[in-house]
Structure 1
Protein backbone atom coordinates (compact mmCIF):
# COMPACT_ATOMS: atom_id res chain seq x y z
CA UNK A 1 0.00 0.00 0.00
CA UNK A 2 1.37 3.40 -1.07
CA UNK A 3 1.06 6.00 1.71
CA UNK A 4 1.48 9.79 1.81
CA UNK A 5 1.73 10.29 -1.95
CA UNK A 6 2.73 13.87 -2.77
CA UNK A 7 3.63 15.54 -6.04
CA UNK A 8 4.92 19.02 -6.86
CA UNK A 9 6.33 20.78 -9.89
CA UNK A 10 10.03 21.59 -9.83
CA UNK A 11 11.89 23.95 -12.19
CA UNK A 12 8.54 25.44 -13.17
CA UNK A 13 8.27 27.24 -16.54
CA UNK A 14 11.73 26.05 -17.59
CA UNK A 15 12.67 23.60 -20.33
CA UNK A 16 13.60 21.01 -17.71
CA UNK A 17 10.36 21.37 -15.72
CA UNK A 18 9.29 18.10 -14.14
CA UNK A 19 7.10 16.68 -11.40
CA UNK A 20 8.72 15.39 -8.22
CA UNK A 21 6.77 12.80 -6.29
CA UNK A 22 7.30 11.05 -2.98
CA UNK A 23 5.53 8.31 -1.07
CA UNK A 24 6.19 5.66 1.52
CA UNK A 25 5.65 1.92 1.65
CA UNK A 26 5.80 0.21 5.02
CA UNK A 27 7.49 3.29 6.48
CA UNK A 28 10.23 3.46 3.81
CA UNK A 29 10.22 6.67 1.75
CA UNK A 30 10.78 6.74 -2.02
CA UNK A 31 11.17 9.73 -4.33
CA UNK A 32 11.34 10.27 -8.04
CA UNK A 33 10.78 12.63 -10.92
CA UNK A 34 8.24 12.24 -13.68
CA UNK A 35 9.44 13.71 -16.96
CA UNK A 36 8.56 12.97 -20.60
CA UNK A 37 6.26 10.09 -19.60
CA UNK A 38 9.05 8.39 -17.60
CA UNK A 39 9.67 7.74 -13.95
CA UNK A 40 13.21 8.67 -12.91
CA UNK A 41 13.90 7.28 -9.45
CA UNK A 42 15.97 9.14 -6.90
CA UNK A 43 17.93 7.30 -4.19
CA UNK A 44 17.04 4.88 -2.84
CA UNK A 45 15.71 3.16 -5.96
CA UNK A 46 12.86 0.78 -5.04
CA UNK A 47 14.57 -2.08 -6.91
CA UNK A 48 17.12 -2.16 -4.08
CA UNK A 49 14.37 -3.36 -1.72
CA UNK A 50 11.76 -4.94 -3.98
CA UNK A 51 11.57 -7.70 -6.57
CA UNK A 52 10.65 -6.97 -10.21
CA UNK A 53 6.91 -7.76 -9.78
CA UNK A 54 6.65 -5.41 -6.79
CA UNK A 55 8.55 -2.70 -8.68
CA UNK A 56 6.22 -3.11 -11.68
CA UNK A 57 3.20 -2.74 -9.36
CA UNK A 58 4.68 0.36 -7.71
CA UNK A 59 5.39 2.04 -11.04
CA UNK A 60 1.84 1.37 -12.26
CA UNK A 61 0.54 2.74 -8.94
CA UNK A 62 2.71 5.88 -9.34
CA UNK A 63 1.28 6.38 -12.85
CA UNK A 64 -2.27 5.95 -11.49
CA UNK A 65 -1.65 8.45 -8.68
CA UNK A 66 -0.04 10.98 -11.03
CA UNK A 67 -3.11 10.65 -13.25
CA UNK A 68 -5.35 11.34 -10.23
CA UNK A 69 -3.34 14.53 -9.63
CA UNK A 70 -3.91 15.54 -13.30
CA UNK A 71 -0.18 15.24 -14.01
CA UNK A 72 -0.62 12.72 -16.79
CA UNK A 73 -3.53 11.65 -18.88
CA UNK A 74 -4.42 8.11 -19.73
CA UNK A 75 -3.91 8.73 -23.46
CA UNK A 76 -3.17 5.73 -25.62
CA UNK A 77 -1.75 5.55 -29.10
CA UNK A 78 -2.06 8.99 -30.62
CA UNK A 79 -2.12 8.41 -34.38
CA UNK A 80 -1.58 11.26 -36.83
CA UNK A 81 -1.92 10.98 -40.60
CA UNK A 82 -2.06 13.58 -43.35
CA UNK A 83 -5.24 14.18 -45.34
CA UNK A 84 -5.68 16.55 -48.28
CA UNK A 85 -2.04 16.16 -49.29
CA UNK A 86 -0.66 18.39 -52.06
CA UNK A 87 -3.08 21.20 -51.29
CA UNK A 88 -2.24 24.78 -50.34
CA UNK A 89 -2.75 23.99 -46.64
CA UNK A 90 -1.85 20.95 -44.60
CA UNK A 91 -4.56 19.06 -42.80
CA UNK A 92 -3.87 16.09 -40.55
CA UNK A 93 -6.33 13.75 -38.90
CA UNK A 94 -5.62 12.33 -35.46
CA UNK A 95 -7.10 9.56 -33.35
CA UNK A 96 -6.48 8.72 -29.71
CA UNK A 97 -7.98 6.89 -26.76
CA UNK A 98 -8.54 8.48 -23.35
CA UNK A 99 -9.65 6.25 -20.50
CA UNK A 100 -10.96 3.70 -23.01
CA UNK A 101 -12.94 6.23 -25.10
CA UNK A 102 -11.83 6.91 -28.69
CA UNK A 103 -11.71 10.49 -29.98
CA UNK A 104 -10.90 11.86 -33.42
CA UNK A 105 -10.21 15.25 -34.86
CA UNK A 106 -8.06 17.17 -37.26
CA UNK A 107 -5.36 19.78 -37.18
CA UNK A 108 -5.69 22.42 -39.87
CA UNK A 109 -3.22 25.29 -40.07
CA UNK A 110 -2.08 24.50 -36.52
CA UNK A 111 -5.62 24.63 -35.09
CA UNK A 112 -7.01 21.52 -33.44
CA UNK A 113 -10.67 20.65 -34.14
CA UNK A 114 -12.46 17.75 -32.43
CA UNK A 115 -15.00 15.55 -34.18
CA UNK A 116 -18.07 14.26 -32.35
CA UNK A 117 -17.96 13.15 -29.53
CA UNK A 118 -15.91 15.95 -28.07
CA UNK A 119 -13.77 15.10 -25.01
CA UNK A 120 -14.99 18.17 -23.08
CA UNK A 121 -18.27 16.33 -22.52
CA UNK A 122 -16.48 13.78 -20.33
CA UNK A 123 -13.26 15.47 -19.20
CA UNK A 124 -12.35 18.66 -17.36
CA UNK A 125 -11.09 21.60 -19.45
CA UNK A 126 -7.63 21.35 -17.88
CA UNK A 127 -7.41 17.67 -18.86
CA UNK A 128 -8.51 18.42 -22.44
CA UNK A 129 -5.87 21.16 -22.71
CA UNK A 130 -3.17 18.70 -21.64
CA UNK A 131 -4.38 16.15 -24.19
CA UNK A 132 -4.45 18.82 -26.90
CA UNK A 133 -0.86 19.73 -26.00
CA UNK A 134 0.13 16.06 -26.46
CA UNK A 135 -1.61 15.98 -29.85
CA UNK A 136 0.27 19.13 -30.91
CA UNK A 137 3.57 17.56 -29.77
CA UNK A 138 2.78 14.41 -31.78
CA UNK A 139 1.99 16.61 -34.79
CA UNK A 140 5.38 18.34 -34.52
CA UNK A 141 7.11 14.94 -34.28
CA UNK A 142 5.17 13.71 -37.32
CA UNK A 143 6.10 16.76 -39.37
CA UNK A 144 9.78 16.44 -38.45
CA UNK A 145 9.97 12.78 -39.53
Structure 2
Protein backbone atom coordinates (compact mmCIF):
# COMPACT_ATOMS: atom_id res chain seq x y z
CA UNK A 1 0.00 0.00 0.00
CA UNK A 2 1.52 3.30 -1.06
CA UNK A 3 0.28 6.29 0.86
CA UNK A 4 1.46 9.75 1.75
CA UNK A 5 1.15 11.28 5.15
CA UNK A 6 -2.18 12.83 6.03
CA UNK A 7 -3.27 14.92 8.97
CA UNK A 8 -4.76 12.57 11.53
CA UNK A 9 -6.50 14.90 13.96
CA UNK A 10 -9.17 13.55 16.28
CA UNK A 11 -12.02 15.51 14.75
CA UNK A 12 -12.84 17.64 11.78
CA UNK A 13 -11.66 17.38 8.22
CA UNK A 14 -8.80 15.27 7.00
CA UNK A 15 -7.42 15.07 3.48
CA UNK A 16 -6.78 11.50 2.44
CA UNK A 17 -3.34 10.25 1.52
CA UNK A 18 -3.05 8.49 -1.82
CA UNK A 19 -3.78 4.77 -2.11
CA UNK A 20 -3.04 2.80 -5.29
CA UNK A 21 -6.12 2.67 -7.57
CA UNK A 22 -5.36 -0.83 -8.80
CA UNK A 23 -5.40 -2.27 -5.32
CA UNK A 24 -9.02 -1.59 -4.39
CA UNK A 25 -10.01 -1.58 -0.74
CA UNK A 26 -8.31 -4.24 1.40
CA UNK A 27 -10.17 -7.55 1.57
CA UNK A 28 -10.85 -7.12 5.29
CA UNK A 29 -12.45 -3.67 4.84
CA UNK A 30 -16.18 -3.14 5.45
CA UNK A 31 -17.67 -1.21 2.54
CA UNK A 32 -20.75 0.68 1.74
CA UNK A 33 -24.10 0.65 2.59
CA UNK A 34 -23.95 1.54 -1.10
CA UNK A 35 -21.84 3.35 -3.61
CA UNK A 36 -22.72 6.89 -4.62
CA UNK A 37 -22.32 7.99 -8.26
CA UNK A 38 -19.52 5.44 -8.73
CA UNK A 39 -17.74 6.44 -5.51
CA UNK A 40 -17.20 4.10 -2.59
CA UNK A 41 -16.25 4.25 1.12
CA UNK A 42 -14.85 1.48 3.30
CA UNK A 43 -13.59 1.05 6.87
CA UNK A 44 -10.75 -1.26 7.87
CA UNK A 45 -10.67 -2.24 11.56
CA UNK A 46 -7.04 -3.37 11.37
CA UNK A 47 -5.41 0.05 11.40
CA UNK A 48 -8.59 2.11 11.83
CA UNK A 49 -8.41 3.27 8.22
CA UNK A 50 -10.99 4.90 5.94
CA UNK A 51 -10.77 4.22 2.20
CA UNK A 52 -12.59 6.51 -0.25
CA UNK A 53 -12.73 5.77 -3.96
CA UNK A 54 -13.38 8.48 -6.56
CA UNK A 55 -15.04 6.48 -9.30
CA UNK A 56 -16.78 9.29 -11.16
CA UNK A 57 -15.13 11.67 -13.64
CA UNK A 58 -17.38 14.51 -12.48
CA UNK A 59 -14.92 16.85 -10.70
CA UNK A 60 -16.72 16.26 -7.40
CA UNK A 61 -14.91 15.36 -4.18
CA UNK A 62 -16.10 12.22 -2.36
CA UNK A 63 -15.71 12.10 1.39
CA UNK A 64 -16.73 9.90 4.27
CA UNK A 65 -18.51 11.33 7.31
CA UNK A 66 -17.74 9.13 10.32
CA UNK A 67 -18.93 8.91 13.92
CA UNK A 68 -17.38 7.04 16.84
CA UNK A 69 -19.13 6.09 20.09
CA UNK A 70 -17.90 4.40 23.27
CA UNK A 71 -19.17 1.60 25.48
CA UNK A 72 -19.99 2.27 29.13
CA UNK A 73 -18.60 -0.08 31.79
CA UNK A 74 -22.01 -1.84 31.92
CA UNK A 75 -21.75 -2.71 28.20
CA UNK A 76 -24.30 -0.22 26.87
CA UNK A 77 -23.37 2.31 24.20
CA UNK A 78 -23.38 6.09 24.20
CA UNK A 79 -26.46 7.52 22.50
CA UNK A 80 -24.49 10.33 20.86
CA UNK A 81 -21.04 10.21 19.23
CA UNK A 82 -17.88 10.64 21.29
CA UNK A 83 -16.03 11.82 18.15
CA UNK A 84 -16.92 12.59 14.57
CA UNK A 85 -15.10 13.75 11.48
CA UNK A 86 -14.64 13.72 7.74
CA UNK A 87 -12.08 12.21 5.41
CA UNK A 88 -11.92 13.69 1.89
CA UNK A 89 -10.40 12.11 -1.21
CA UNK A 90 -8.80 15.03 -3.08
CA UNK A 91 -6.98 12.75 -5.52
CA UNK A 92 -8.04 12.64 -9.20
CA UNK A 93 -10.68 10.35 -10.64
CA UNK A 94 -10.07 6.58 -10.41
CA UNK A 95 -7.96 6.77 -7.25
CA UNK A 96 -8.42 5.69 -3.66
CA UNK A 97 -7.65 7.96 -0.72
CA UNK A 98 -6.93 6.66 2.78
CA UNK A 99 -7.14 8.31 6.20
CA UNK A 100 -5.66 6.80 9.35
CA UNK A 101 -7.48 7.22 12.64
CA UNK A 102 -7.10 5.75 16.12
CA UNK A 103 -10.24 4.38 17.80
CA UNK A 104 -10.56 2.36 21.00
CA UNK A 105 -10.45 -1.40 20.41
CA UNK A 106 -12.62 -3.88 22.32
CA UNK A 107 -9.53 -4.97 24.26
CA UNK A 108 -8.79 -1.44 25.54
CA UNK A 109 -10.43 0.54 28.34
CA UNK A 110 -11.91 3.70 26.86
CA UNK A 111 -12.21 7.24 28.21
CA UNK A 112 -15.57 6.61 29.96
CA UNK A 113 -14.53 3.35 31.67
CA UNK A 114 -15.93 0.73 29.31
CA UNK A 115 -14.13 -1.35 26.71
CA UNK A 116 -14.09 -0.59 23.01
CA UNK A 117 -15.91 1.61 20.56
CA UNK A 118 -18.07 1.50 17.46
CA UNK A 119 -18.00 3.50 14.22
CA UNK A 120 -20.52 4.27 11.53
CA UNK A 121 -20.22 6.19 8.27
CA UNK A 122 -21.82 7.58 5.17
CA UNK A 123 -20.45 8.58 1.78
CA UNK A 124 -21.01 12.14 0.53
CA UNK A 125 -19.98 14.54 -2.23
CA UNK A 126 -18.64 17.95 -1.22
CA UNK A 127 -19.93 19.84 -4.27
CA UNK A 128 -23.45 18.46 -4.05
CA UNK A 129 -26.00 18.67 -1.30
CA UNK A 130 -26.25 14.97 -0.75
CA UNK A 131 -24.92 11.94 0.99
CA UNK A 132 -25.51 8.27 0.31
CA UNK A 133 -28.49 6.35 1.61
CA UNK A 134 -27.71 7.38 5.17
CA UNK A 135 -25.56 6.09 7.98
CA UNK A 136 -24.24 2.55 8.00
CA UNK A 137 -25.01 0.29 10.95
CA UNK A 138 -22.72 0.70 13.96
CA UNK A 139 -19.59 -1.44 13.49
CA UNK A 140 -17.77 -2.91 16.51
CA UNK A 141 -14.12 -1.91 16.35
CA UNK A 142 -13.00 -5.25 17.72
CA UNK A 143 -9.88 -6.09 15.77
Query: Which TM-score band (shorter chain)?
Result: under 0.3
Which structure has more relative contact order (CA 8 Å, sep 6+)? It is 2
